[in-house]
Amino acid sequence: MNKIRHGKKEKLKLIKISSEIKDYSKDYDLWFDFITTDGLKIQSEKRQIDCTKVCDERGYVQNDKVIEEFEKILIEEIQKIK
């Protein structure tokens, strides 16, 4: 998570994480609400993590793959904040 702190650290006061998965869906929806230090509220677009990419052949969730996908999406969304 240290990568996240570079650049936008001073602008972000709060990051709220929201997610949902619908029954029988392979997509896990993820989005963020950001509050900046100057009080601006920004909601990211819904992003999806393909569950088949984070599970092994037996269907078990691989935590390292989930963390990798989550960090990638979070960093991309933080970089969109000006």
What's the predicted TM-score (pTM) here? Answer: 0.76
DSSP 22-75: -TT-SEEEEEEEEEETTS-EEEPPPEEEEGGGSB-TTS-B-HHHHHHHHHHHHH
Residue 6 belongs to domain spanning:
2-79
Q: Residues 18-76: pLDDT tens digits?
A: 999 888 888 999 999 999 888 889 999 999 999 888 998 898 999 999 999 999 999 99
Residues contacting residue 50 through CB under 8 Å, at least 6 positions apart: 26, 27, 28
* Backbone angle region of 39, left / alpha / beta, with phi > 0 → left and psi within -120 to 50 → alpha: left
Domain count for the chain, please give it.
1
